[in-house]
Structure 1
Amino acid sequence: MSDSNTTKFTNPSTFILMGIPGLEVAHIWISIPFCTMSAIAVLGNFTILFIVKREPSLHRPMYYFLCMLAITDLVLSTSILPKMLSIFWFNTREIDFGACLTQMYFVHCFFVMESGIFVAMALDRYVAICKPLRHSTILRNPVVAKIGLAVMLRGCMVMLPLVLLARQWPYCRTNIIPHAYCEHIAVVKLACADIRISSYYGLFVLFCVMGLDVIFIVVSYIQILRAIFNLSTKDARLKTFGTCSSHLCAILSFYIPALFSSLMYRFGHTVPLPFHILIANVYLLLPPTLNPIIYGVRTKQIRDRLLRLFTYKWG
């Protein structure tokens, strides 16, 4: 390590990412599941985009939102993995100050976007089940495009203050980040200033932005379940609920690890640091990996189109 890691300085030109502190000897082995997850995420999400583009019957709001989710997952996973693997494989730990803030912005921005897309998908399921006769008139293509734009702009605007605040803090203690990527709290904790405003704003985003998303999703599903239980036959209930199962599985794989990681990072002071870092990496890589599998396996239209594609290729 250079002397700049321990001496006084202001706004370093580079940060040093440590990967997973305490598990450096296992970095190569840890990289194997992470690399596998990323490969599945990239291949799976590109497959979803390809299938929806090629199949005219899938040109509907539900699948448009699924494509938005796939694009978000691709950006989210590729924002952290190249640098992470360069640390694990080549011990290339330096990252430029500006590049670190850029990575921080993309990771958190697209994470909030993904939360917004799940809200949009919940809205689509609510309209499809509770107002089926009006679905095509309520969620027309221009409306879907506006919802997508609103989700994107919200993510960009909400996360901008986080990065601007991180940029203006003086970093005069150390430039060593005990993390595998530029996670917001891990970076601002290095500042030699009162960073409570950054911490409070991060909590605001967690509870008021993503918390409102969760509330909206819960309210939507309460209405959906009421409509399902009002159906006359058990088969109809199961078939209708089956159209929501993929969405529910994807929601759980997204929110539960994210909430656990965020709260553990702020309040779990007794939890070992390597476990913190592993969970922080997993919660970003798990949804992009699982979402295409969930929708590929549980959505009949995508599954059938995928089978036809492989039958055509290998038949």
Structure 2
Amino acid sequence: NGEAPKEFILYGIVNSHSDTSYDNCIEHVNLTDGSPKNIVKLAEDQKDFSCVVNVPESQNLCGIQTIDGVRKVFSYDLSMHFWQDMGLENILTLCNGQSSIIAVRQISTDEVILATTGSWPYTRNMDQTSNYRYKLPVGIRLKSLTRYPGLQGGGSQLILSADNGNNSFTPVVLDLKQNSGKIYIGDPIQATALIPFWTIISGKDTGTTKYVRTGGYAVVRADNGQTELCLWNQTTMSLDEPFATFPNSARSVTMLAQDTETMKIYVLFEGYRNGRLIYAYDLVKKDWQQVTDNYPYSEIVAAR
């Protein structure tokens, strides 16, 4: 009926980065029994649909497709079942904002600007503004920001991951205050993956009794392939100690938060034999819960 579902739904993306013979497609994962249901098959020119994010309550999945060598933003409407070109090119990555999608767009050999699309009723074309313009420091290549989607951590930070190409990653944080243009570059981390995620934590340390949104990284250690979930400390601008670990290597992370009693971080892991595994880390119970099946996905994303 065109309305967003009351509950979050988990989707899996099979694209050209999946390293599988499975058809490139978008699937819905039933969180009750783990069964997948095909939503749409990706055409040949859509097969690299990646860095997929969701506009809250829009029933749209936005991702990047490369058309004639140009990285463009396309959305798939899960309710009305159609694709749309969002009219934005030269996009490095997409980010989940608190009420919008934020695109990081290349405008020169070392500069980016941000473009946004709002929540429902959302604008289909993205607004671009020079109020959010950043010059990357020496040592951070534009292409290094294209591997994973980013996110808005707190109210004023955009958290990205830079792939250094030598089993090391660097946290990259953009200041979201207008006309700031500031970029913080963290220390390189020896890892085979550094995947941004968002979550909700108690705000007692920030002077409020409410829960607040914050960001973090799933770190896949280069020495043993173990995944560590770490919050990004906005005061020290560094990673906190892990609050959860898992023996397998993570490929993708998404958050499902109905309320403060049902907060789960869903992680797509490499499997031991064939297929990949999805586990949810319950932030209330502080344990891992498996979604029972093997999956061919390269990315997962929550939407409603």
Which TM-score band (shorter chain)?
A: under 0.3
More strand by share: 2
User: What TM-score does the superposition give when structure 1 sets the normalisation length?
Assistant: 0.26
User: What TM-score does the superposition give when structure 2 sets the normalisation length?
Assistant: 0.27
**Structure with greater Cα Rg:** 1
Greater length-normalized contact order (CA 8 Å, ≥ 6 residues apart): 1
More helix by share: 1
